[in-house]
Amino acid sequence: MPTLAVVGLQWGDEGKGKIVDLLSSEAEIVVRGQGGNNAGHCVIADGKEYHFHLIPSGILSPAVICMIGGGVVIDPASLLKEMKELEDQNISFEGRLWISPYAHIVLPYHRLLDAQSEREKGGEAIGTTGRGIGPCYSDGVARLGIRICDFISPEIFKSKLRSILPIKNRFLEKSIEIEEIIDAYTIYAEKLKPFVKPLEVELASEIKRGRKILFEGAQGALLDISYGTYPFVTSSHTTSGGLALGAGVGPQSIERTLGVIKAYTTRVGNGPFPTEFHEGETSLDPKTAREFGTTTGRQRRMGWFDTVLVSHAIRLSGVTSLALTKLDVLDQLPTIKICTGYQLDGQKWTFPPPCIEDLERVTPIYEQVEGWQTNTSEIKKLEEFPKNVRLFLNRLESLLEISIDIVSFGPEREKTWKRKSFF
């Protein structure tokens, strides 16, 4: 059963898009199982830059079928816009994009309620992307959601909207008229209907046939709705288990899990960040490190690598192998810090405290390693890495007790070292 999940092990933005694009050349099917257009991947291939929010990054490999599972929340306008942008770059979707009828759709009131909620929270705001993802997932749990299967049936869509919209209007600062939604969304439905297929049935069949299937995660484990830095989290399960559920298959269908980590740590939005750089602590610059969100354009907060949080993420997803990205960002540092534990109230912690109030009070325990101060962007094989790079990688492997089998040292496909084939 050649199946592999790719999941982020930090707060998202680990470089999953590049890794999925790289491995898609070996895969036959790529499946997205959770999140929405709050996710953002940037992939550079053949000198071109591609941006993904809902469509699996595997679409760049012409022979790959891409599936959007029932655990994804879909903003139809955003999906169509993304498809158009990719079609303008000569990417074909014919016979290659499948959408689950079980997926919920994001509606205008979800975005409005998202923005309204953030404003009302003021200084306590989560720092969401404002795309309506949380309210859409909330509606699913409250049984007020509208799914793709409803959306592509005009009469069912209108009927459900007539029932739900008055409830939403009670909470909106300005009411929405039903015609405002119907007029636009009817057109969206007509355009997307040809891509809606019994994805879960087909996927189960392809797994039995032994097809090479890649499950593409969105966001990162530290944003998981249950096990992340709650409440500063996303609204879906970002682990391999959540990915299987969102794709409509059993957890045993995922044979191996590749966890993606940066050589340091970043976070967008609010929430605890134990290893965040203090002002003047390092020469690393968000601009040169390209640390701006694909979805929001917001500058990411930066910090040292945190083995406490990454080990937590590895446990959550049953990770079997690691991919380390953005090694080149550390190229010019004379010394590099690695967080190996926390001090809290006189005690050492090797796992993160569940309460963010405690996580905000921890003092990181660091060990320091020598930098390599060498350009790594032209390296082709492991033996060419400077000695201190290999020592850094070996130390992370030792602390995390898992093998680093992919190393990325630049945004382009070719700036990657891979220990083995994954299919």
**Which secondary structure element, helix H or strand E, spans residue 5, and what is its range?**
strand 3-8
Q: Do 177 and 54 share a structural domain? A: no
- Of 176, 192, 208, the residue at which a domain comes to its end is 192
pLDDT over threshold 80, residue 288: no
Answer whether residue 423 is part of any domain.
no
238 pLDDT exceeds 70? yes
Identify the DSSP state of 339. E
Give residue 124's pLDDT: 66
Query: Which residue has better confidence, 1 or 23?
Result: 23
Residue 13 a catalytic site member = yes
Q: Domain for residue 284, yes or no?
A: yes
- Note the residue count of the chain: 423
CATH of the domain at 134: 1.10.300.10
Higher pLDDT, 116 or 356: 356
Lookup result for tokens 């084939």: 421
The pLDDT score that the predictor gives to residue 102 is 98
- Stretch 287-312: mean pLDDT, rounded? 86
Residue 41 predicted with pLDDT over 80: no
CB 335 within 8 A of CB 284: no
- Do 333 and 384 have their domain in common? yes
Which CATH number does the domain housing residue 39 bear? 3.40.440.10
Share of residues in the chain with pLDDT > 70 (%) = 97
Report how many helices (DSSP H) and strands (DSSP E) the chain contains, helices first.
12, 19
Task: Pick the range with the lowest mean pLDDT from 10-24, 57-71, 279-293.
Answer: 279-293
Closest CA to 232 of 379, 124, 310: 124
pLDDT band at 82 (very low <50, low <70, confident <90, very high): very high
Q: Is the confidence at residue 415, as pLDDT, over 70?
A: yes
The two three-digit tokens of residue 317, written as one number: 């997803």
CA atoms within 13 A on the CB side of 273: 20
Specify whether 23 is located in the same domain as 131.
Answer: no
Q: Look at residue 320 in the predicted model and tell me its pLDDT.
A: 97
pLDDT tens digits for range 99-133: 999 999 999 999 999 888 778 776 666 667 778 99
Residue 322 confidence (pLDDT) above 90: yes
Q: Which range of residues forms the domain containing residue 160?
A: 104-192
SS3 405: strand
Domain boundary among the residues 175, 192, 209 is at 192
Residue with more model confidence, 109 or 290: 109
Of the residues 41, 110, 237, 312, which is catalytic?
41
Do 51 and 178 lie in one domain? The reply is no
The answer as to whether 7 is a domain residue is yes
Lookup: tokens for 304: 């040292």
Q: What is the pLDDT of residue 43?
A: 79
Whether residue 277 is found in the same domain as residue 246: no
Domain shared by 293 and 395, yes or no: yes
Q: pLDDT value at position 414? A: 85
Based on the fold, state whether residues 168 and 130 are members of the same structural domain. Answer: yes
Confidence category of residue 351, pLDDT binned at 50, 70, 90 = very high
Specify whether 41 is catalytic: yes
pLDDT recorded at residue 287 = 76
Q: Are residues 363 and 268 in the same domain?
A: yes
Amino acid at 417: W
pLDDT tens digit sequence for 165-215: 999 999 988 899 999 899 999 999 999 999 999 999 999 999 999 999 999
Q: Taking residues 247-262, report their average pLDDT.
A: 96
Residue 421: exposure state from Cβ atoms within 10 A (0-12, 13-18, ≥19): exposed
Q: Is 381 exposed, middle or buried (0-12, 13-18, 19+ CB in 10 A)?
A: exposed
Reported as a pLDDT band with limits 50, 70 and 90, residue 256 is very high
Task: Clarify whether residues 318 and 335 are in a common domain.
Answer: yes
* Structural domains counted in the chain: 3
Lowest mean pLDDT among 57-66, 147-156, 194-203, 305-314: 57-66
Q: Domain check: are 246 and 301 in the same one?
A: no
Q: Which is the catalytic residue, given 13, 21, 75, 224? A: 13
Give pLDDT, residue 119.
81
My answer on whether 271 and 395 are in the same domain is yes
Angle at CA of residue 77, ends 148 and 134, nearest 5°: 70
Q: How far apart are CA 28 and CA 25, in angstroms?
A: 8
Boundary (domain end) residue, out of 143, 158, 192? 192
One domain, residues 207 and 177: no
| CATH code for the domain of 312 | 3.90.170.10
- Tokens 């990688």 locate to 393
